[in-house]
Amino acid sequence: MYSSFKTGLAITAFFMATACDSGQKSDSQTDTTAVASDTSTTPTTPVGTTATGDVPAGATNTAALNTLTDQEKADGWKLLFDGQSTAGWRGYTKKTFPEKGWEVKDGALSVLASKTEGEGGGDIITENQYENFDLKFEFDYTPEANSGVLYRVKEVPNTPSWHSAPEYQVIDNAGWARKNDPNFNMDKHRTGDNYDFHAAPADYSKPAGEWNEGRIVVNNGKVEHWLNGKQTVSYDFNSQEWKDQVKKTKFAPYKDYGANKKGHIGIQDHGATVYYRNIKIKEL
């Protein structure tokens, strides 16, 4: 009888262990399903975003973009782009904003790619003109893209904006070099440079897909370019050095080049997609 009792206990223990093991497997399966469910609903990072939280024009997080802080307002800063419209801008030598080639989307003012340069909407300029100013802006470009921010633009019918205006180069340095001849000289043609005149001491740009911070300061003829907190260029419109440099470049035939004390701010359409946002200016 004692033997039968022991046998009964063993059988009972076996079935209890089996039930417990079955329960554990069921719990484990349930947990795995829950994890899979959580994974499937985890938001994916938008294409082009970075681990630092940079949001390209294609993303939808536009919080705090294209706004001024109370301190900025008190210091005299003004927005040149409100993030929602093209108010304050128009086509170069035009009375209205281009009907094609540009768009406002996701808090960015974007110039769109075209098959060839000149088929897009063309350059745009601010309605107002500026003489002494501190201009800040953010930009992101697609691979191999090329654009620029122009200043002291003078409108002359049937004449390109760059015939009068110096340019803060905006370009995908690595991509543009690959697109062209491998031996293409990028000196004075990189992001942050004074196009064709002055080169940055180093490449301070971020790659395509990340937002860069640009800045142009013009005060009584003295000019500074900044890129991501680093000064890239410094020169003086009033200096003999500047005048001599102009004579040695392709701009020599254009009497208005860099000669205007006051002019529009412009953004260049070079046939590639480039995004701009947080464009603000303070007159000095």
Domain residue extents for the chain: 1-42, 70-283
Tokens standing for 116?
């060839």
What's 70-283's CATH class?
Answer: mainly beta
pLDDT band at 175 (very low <50, low <70, confident <90, very high): confident
Tokens standing for 1?
């009888």
d(Cα 221, Cα 263) in Å, to the nearest integer? 13
Phi, psi of 190 (to 5 degrees): -95, 165
Residue 108 is predicted with a pLDDT of 98
Angle, CA of 80, 85 and 86, to the nearest 5°: 60
Contact 273, 112 (CB under 8 A): yes
> Listing from the earlier edge strand, what are the strands of the sheet with 263-267?
89-91, 124-130, 263-267, 146-153, 167-171
Residue 78 vs residue 189, higher pLDDT: 78
Question: How confident is the model over 110-154, as pLDDT tens digits?
Answer: 999 997 766 799 999 999 999 999 999 999 999 999 999 999 999
Contact 138, 170 (CB under 8 A): no
DSSP 27: H
Question: How confident is the model over 35-65, as pLDDT tens digits?
Answer: 333 333 323 222 233 333 344 444 444 558 9
Tokens standing for 117?
């340069």
Q: Using only the alpha carbons of the chain, give its radius of gyration.
A: 29
Position 235 pLDDT exceeds 50: yes
pTM of the model: 0.78
Tokens standing for 151?
């200043």
Query: Given CA atoms 101, 105, 109, 111 in this order, what sign does their dihedral have?
Result: negative
